[in-house]
A and B are shown apart, each in its own frame.
Chain A
Amino acid sequence: MRHILRRRELVTDDWRYAGEDGADEAANAALVVPFADFRTHIAKWRAYPGRLGVRLSPADAVEDLAEDIQRLSLVAAEFPTPGEGRGYSQGRLLRSRLQFKGELRAVGAAVKQDLLFILSRCGFDSFELAPGQKVEAALAALERYSVAYQPAEPVPSIRQQRYRAAG
């Protein structure tokens, strides 16, 4: 059973990825489908009665989800290696431009404690931790910084804090 660190709590995943056990379309399972599949069979997925999520590869253009963003409850972005940084832009765009309010999940072998702080600041609120990652360490990493320079959740930017201090 897959566990997810979602909004700072370890939960059993209530989603199924396309192709895995329990990913049962007929039973209207909560299903995460690859972006390409979603785009190719858009009519089918628009009519899908169950909860629906999309999994992005790093090269996928999130703008193409704009029309359907209200329909999606989850978007997952891939971080296969530490150097693959396109998912950070996908996260920022989903939250700021597409106004995506659902679960934004980071998946892949690089989802480890040292990246969680910047991931969370790009809008990711859910992490499928790489194998061997300790939850306590991951939670601590999310709290590593009390300050940050750029305006992004969840830490208010230093600039905002300065203004607040100045009244």
Chain B
Amino acid sequence: MYQYDQLDQAFVDQRVSEFRDQTRRFLAGELSEDEFKGLRLRNGLYIQRHAPMLRIAIPYGLLASRQLRKLAEITRRYDRSFGHFTTRQNLQLNWPKLEEVPDILEHLASVQMHAIQTSGNCIRNVTADHLAGIAEDEIDDPRPYCEIIRQWANLHPEFTYLPRKFKIAVTGSPADRAASEVHDVGLHLRRDAQGNIGFQVLVGGGLGRAPMIGQVIREFLPLPDLLSYLDAILRVYNRNGRRDNIHKARIKILVKAMGIARFRDQVETEWQAARDAGPVLEAAQVERVRSFFQPPAYETLQNIDTCAGREPEFQAWYRYNTRPHRVPGYRAAFVCLKAHGQNPGDMSSGQMEAVAALADRVSFGLIRVTHNQNLLLGDVRQSDLYAVWKELRGLGLAMPNIGTLTDMIACPGLDFCSLANAGTLNVAKQIQAQFDDLDYLYDLGDIEIKMSGCMNACGHHHVGHIGILGVDKHGEEWYQITLGGSVNGFTALGEVIGPSVPQAEVASTIERIVEVYRAEREDGERFIETFRRVGVKPFKERAYAAHSKAA
């Protein structure tokens, strides 16, 4: 992975010292709440319901074991011995003390990490496919380009005070495991006829209050032009994006208002005018960054039958919680943060330490964070998988439900977040309890539930096969359900199926919905495929069946 040189290190160290001074001035009354807000947000610090929340950047979801160990140490020392992994591959601390945040940032800097621009109206942490570098269908490893973007975005002088937040995702595979089409900018790696690397560029995607799918602004952007073209998009946005209404300030609203053709023309004009003066990405620079992402020292191995003679529990784990690897003899193994009874995405300090040690032993000391709120050991020898499973099982991290209904995404919701209208963690627990039978889960197959506690859609509910949105109804927590959303190379926004339901009825409503699928599905059809074939109608009719009987 990327290693800081003394210049990168100087930058984060100076950033910590700046924030320490800003925090000191705030506590001394020299900075108002409002003045401090813009500064702390750009260092990942929110003021939440119970305490501040600190969002730590995990650029493109890649962690070294020493970094995960440091996160364990930080969560134990400065928080309540756990952290929450998010859909943007970051880690949130829910209970840090404001006055200790500069110390936390100093700890992070000591392992080449930071919390820079994880909140605020600026360019956020850049995310990528969690199978980057190992996926069989990959065109090129997106992580070097993510790192180049990370550096370009950090304290970008022109784009630190944008109309609204700005999220970029890069994917190297057609399967798009990074939800790139619902980002402000999505970059899809491509090769031209000569084999040169470039990007298909999408702009104007995003969830939140007005969900939209990104549109293609450029079919092929040559790699050397990456930063100058991003500069042009950001400049057009910075100058023209709305600043009068926070709900209409994302780039998606600007793109929609202008139309993609006009927006494209403006970006093109800006880009052509700035190109000579703008940053060109020299081959040497790309090569330097790329050199940090060379494949680890794989052994020459054959694929083996890992499951032969093993117990059914291991076989289930192998089937659901591991993924193919491009190198023979290796596989990727999920560290599942979706055990029933657990908050999705939460991980204890002890689990972090154990997984760091495990990664050192079996996966070249590297851990990936997925946008589905799990971790992944990317490079496990197939012959090690059985031992890895046993160890993960002992840690409570081997629930064999990846890709099933209970591998759901959930934001922290009303329990922690001051923006939320409704709780998500209770609902998650109810769904886990309702669907606790693994055979039933396996029969239902690939179903993605995504849940958000408010319209800001941190839980990506619009693109869940089943989306759940918490709403406030006269002080009570109700939930609106959508069906048919998806990402992963076929992005679609879900349709609302009808009136919202009270908290106690969410899990049973979902059960009725999946029963419609079971009744309607044809051979081998996944939930989303059945939905696309039969439409929303049968689901609408039967999701509320119990109500009409009762009424």
Contact = CB atoms under 8 A, between A and B. Distances in A.
Contacts of A161: 7
Contacts of B304: none
A92 B238 CA distance: 12
Contacts of B5: 162
Nearest to A93: B235
Interface string B278-313: 010000110010000000000000000000000000
Interface of B: 5, 7-8, 10-11, 14-15, 17-18, 22, 34-35, 38-39, 121, 151-152, 154-163, 235, 238-239, 243, 273-274, 277, 279, 284-285, 288
Given A118-B160, A161-B7, A162-B7, A149 B239 contact: no
A151 B158 contact: no
Contacts of A148: 11, 155, 157
A126 B24 CA distance: 27
B7 A147 contact: yes
Contacts of B157: 88, 92, 117-119, 121-122, 148, 150, 152
Nearest to A157: B279
A84 B10 contact: no
Given A86-B238, A96-B274, A112-B35, A150 B11 contact: no
Given A150-B279, A151-B279, A89 B239 contact: yes
19 contacts: A82-B38, A86-B238, A88-B157, A88-B158, A89-B158, A91-B158, A96-B277, A114-B39, A121-B157, A144-B14, A145-B11, A148-B11, A149-B152, A149-B154, A149-B156, A161-B7, A162-B7, A162-B288, A163-B284
Contact of A85 (B15, B39, B161, B279): B161
B161 A83 contact: yes
Given A149-B154, A150-B152, 12 more contacts: A83-B121, A85-B121, A85-B159, A85-B160, A85-B163, A92-B158, A96-B277, A97-B273, A145-B15, A147-B11, A150-B279, A162-B5
Given A114-B39, A118-B155, A82 B11 contact: no
Contacts of B10: 146-147
A156 to B, nearest CB: 10
A145 B152 CA distance: 16
Nearest to A143: B14
Contacts of B11: 145, 147-149, 158
Contacts of A117: 157
A45 to B, nearest CB: 24
A3 interface: no
B156 to A, nearest CB: 6
A121 B154 CA distance: 13
A150 B227 CA distance: 10
B239 A83 contact: no
Which has the most chain A C-beta neighbours within 10 Å: B159, B161, B243, B284? B161
B18 A85 contact: no
A6 B478 CA distance: 57
A39 interface: no
Contacts of B152: 149-150
Given A112-B35, A146-B14, A150-B156, A158 B161 contact: no
Contacts of A51: none
Nearest to A96: B277
A146 B6 CA distance: 11
A122 B155 CA distance: 12
A89 B162 contact: no
Contacts of B159: 85, 88
Contacts of B7: 147, 158, 161-162
B14 A145 contact: yes
A46 interface: no
Contacts of B161: 82-85, 88
A103 B542 CA distance: 70
A7 interface: no
A148 B284 CA distance: 19
B238 A88 contact: yes
A113 to B, nearest CB: 9
Nearest to A166: B284
A92 B160 CA distance: 13
A147 B162 CA distance: 22
A74 B442 CA distance: 70
Interface in A113-167: 114, 117-119, 121-122, 144-152, 158-159, 161-163
A114 B22 contact: yes
Contacts of A159: 279, 285
Given A145-B11, A162-B5, A85 B277 contact: no
A82 B238 contact: no
A64 B231 CA distance: 21
A142 B158 CA distance: 16
A121 B161 CA distance: 14
Contacts of B18: 144-145
B238 A149 contact: no
The 10 closest A-B pairs by CB, nearest first: A85-B161, A121-B157, A118-B157, A82-B38, A158-B7, A88-B158, A149-B151, A96-B277, A147-B11, A147-B10
Contacts of B273: 97
B187 to A, nearest CB: 18
Contacts of A122: 157-158
A155 to B, nearest CB: 10
